[in-house]
Amino acid sequence: MKTGFVLRRFGILCAALAFAACGRDRAASDNAEPLPPPAYGEEDANPEVFLDLMEVGSRELYAARAAVLAALDLKPGARVGDIGAGTGLYSLMFADAVGPAGAVFAVDIEPRFLKLIGQRAADLDLGNVVSVLGRDTDITLPHASVDVVFIADTYHYFSDRAAIMATVRDALVDGGRLVILDYTLDESHKGDPKRAHVRFGKAGLISEIESYGFRLADEPDVPGLSEIYMVVFEKA
């Protein structure tokens, strides 16, 4: 699996959230192309460099973040596991949506991302965000600890999907929801180097997830998403 479940993914804390979290005006970056990755080690001293890499308007998961949040329909008091949380964009949005009675577990295998998420949550005075260090084969959340598991632009990076999904299923309450967002893969993308890391398309993903003990519940049409799809499962 690549660093931090890889560089990826992505509030409706919208521009105000990002401004408060970063201490700078990010409006100009909404239409900017992603910056090249920072030199390894630079982010140790300044992990916020990842914000300019991942939270830009050219990334669908960033540009359509409000629509994704609306499609999730999180309720106050819900407990959410954000797997492959990255810079924490969605974790922070979820924290605002579920309120102080809820909880968000931001899970990643990269400690630098967890440090950044903690920093951003503190800046926003969000006391319901818990950073969790995951493993290649384990999301490291307790049994029946979450109502929703959210996996965006991350599933295709799992090196042992069966092992990871067993821990996802264990962490969900009975009837809990698993929400996955991943890249489309069809004939139009054949040979596209940008899809080289994507193992299979939507139908293949649905079939595999169902084999792990989940039932397909919904395939929402999310405004703003065209290269990425959303599928919702229930713990069977």
Specify the number of domains making up the chain: 1
Supply the pLDDT for residue 194.
57
**Strands, E, within 184-220: which ranges?**
214-218
**What value does the mean pLDDT take over residues 37-62?**
62
**Res. 20: pLDDT tops 70:** no
**Res. 96: pLDDT tops 60:** yes
- State the burial class of residue 211 (Cβ atoms within 10 Å of its Cβ: 0-12, 13-18, 19+): exposed
Q: What is the CATH number of the domain that holds 35?
A: 3.40.50.150
Please count the CA atoms within 13 angstroms of the CA of 68 that sit on its side-chain side: 32
Cα angle: 127, vertex 54, 114; to 5 degrees: 35
Residue 173 tokens read as: 């309450």
> What are the phi and psi torsion angles at 35 (to 5°)?
-75, 155
Instruction: Give helix 89-98 / helix 65-72 axis angle, nearest 10°.
Output: 40
Q: Indicate whether this model's pTM tops 0.85.
A: no
Q: How confident is the model at residue 122 (pLDDT cuts 50, 70, 90)?
A: very high
User: How is 122-142 classified by DSSP, letter by letter?
Assistant: HHTT-TTEEEEE-BTTB----
Supply the pLDDT for residue 30.
45
Question: Which positions ≥6 away from 94 have C-beta within 8 Å?
Answer: 69, 72, 74, 80, 82, 104, 150
Q: How confident is the model at residue 168 (pLDDT cuts 50, 70, 90)?
A: very high
CA-to-CA distance for 14 and 89, rounded, in angstroms? 9
Supply the pLDDT for residue 156.
87
For residue 106, give Cα distances in angstroms to 39, 55, 127, 131, 151: 25, 17, 13, 5, 11
Show the domain range for 227: 3-235
